[in-house]
Structure 1
Amino acid sequence: MNKEKLIADMKQIVADADALLQATADQTSEKIAGLRTRLQDNLKTARSRLAEAETTLVDKTAQATRDALQKISDAADQAADAASDAAQKAEESVKNAAESGKEAAQRAAEVARDAANKALDAITEMARKAKDAISKSF
């Protein structure tokens, strides 16, 4: 935010200098004419540099946001994969226990699978909300 404040301050300085140039337009002394010429040149340079700085700031902010979004997406994918693996292992355990005639183990495995699926849903929803929030900031 400090860079944005600096850009806003610089825009105000440029506007004030431009107003000063307009206010002294009817002054004809040699000193004032030379000062006006230098000030006009400096204002032109300042406007150009200010535009470059603003573009750079926007580009860097956008890239940082894209990087953060990618990291969130990658983490959500890894968590989803881990949850899916856990659910699959729980289901395999249930099948093995069910084959042994243990209904309680089957129920426990179903509960574990349901919990893993709920975790997967929560992670997916979190990633979607993060993506939406970042997308809305642009």
Structure 2
Amino acid sequence: MSESNTPSSTPKDKLIADIKQIVADADALLQATADQAGEKVAGLRTRLEANLKVASGRLAEFAAADVDKTRQDLRDALQKISDAANQAAEAASEAAQKAEDSVKKATESGKEAAQHAAEAARDAANKALNAITEMARKTKDAINK
């Protein structure tokens, strides 16, 4: 089974494989007819060689552009993930602050247990915030690589 007929290939992959096979076949034809004489054959060989060089170059350019586009799409996706993580971190921080403020109000009325709960809530919120911040940092680092 040729590369262009594998079930997991995309149409673009199949096209690239087909073009590579055409280039290889044309090159083989040039090699096989190298000893043929005549003006028509010589002219055809010259044109075919030139067209093969151009086609090979364009195929390489296409492949490089496709890789660059894929990389940029990945960077964009990672940036969106990083932005979402930062928003989540900000929301967690705000929630922790509100919880702490509520508990402080309760502790002012003399409830010692509420003070302990406030400290525990603050510690938990800070841990969550640190974890989210670290995830955002790692995501940004991955984008910049």
Q: So what's the TM-score if we normalise by structure 1?
A: 0.77
Following superposition, the deviation at residue 74 of structure 1 comes to 0.5
CA distance in structure 2 between the aligned counterparts of 1:33 and 1:100, rounded to whole angstroms: 101
Q: Which stretch shows the higher mean deviation, 124-133 or 19-28?
A: 124-133
Which SS does the other structure have where 1:47 is aligned?
A: helix
Percentage of matched positions with identical amino acids: 77
CA distance in structure 1 between the aligned counterparts of 2:18 and 2:137, rounded to whole angstroms: 37
Which SS does the other structure have where 2:35 is aligned?
A: coil
Q: Which stretch shows the higher mean deviation, 8-17 or 42-51?
A: 8-17
CA distance in structure 2 between the aligned counterparts of 1:46 and 1:127, rounded to whole angstroms: 44
Match of residue 125 from structure 2? 116
CA distance in structure 2 between the aligned counterparts of 1:30 and 1:101, rounded to whole angstroms: 107
Q: How does 1:10-89 map to 2 (within 5 A)?
A: 10-89=19-98
CA distance in structure 2 between the aligned counterparts of 1:4 and 1:92, rounded to whole angstroms: 59
Q: So what's the TM-score if we normalise by structure 2?
A: 0.74
Following superposition, the deviation at residue 17 of structure 1 comes to 2.4
Following superposition, the deviation at residue 53 of structure 1 comes to 0.9
Match of residue 6 from structure 2? none
Which SS does the other structure have where 2:37 is aligned?
A: coil
Contact 2:107 2:114 in 1 (8 A): yes
Q: 1:129 to 1:33 in 2, by over 3 A?
A: same
CA distance in structure 1 between the aligned counterparts of 2:93 and 2:100, rounded to whole angstroms: 11
Q: Which stretch shows the higher mean deviation, 42-51 or 10-19?
A: 10-19
Contact 1:86 1:113 in 2 (8 A): no
CA distance in structure 2 between the aligned counterparts of 1:131 and 1:11, rounded to whole angstroms: 38
Contact 2:104 2:115 in 1 (8 A): yes
Report how many residues are paired.
136
CA distance in structure 2 between the aligned counterparts of 1:43 and 1:106, rounded to whole angstroms: 79
Following superposition, the deviation at residue 86 of structure 1 comes to 1.4
Contact 1:91 1:109 in 2 (8 A): yes
Which whole-Å deviations, capped at 9, do the CAs of 1:64-97 have from their partners, x for residues lacking one?
0111111011111111111111122222222222
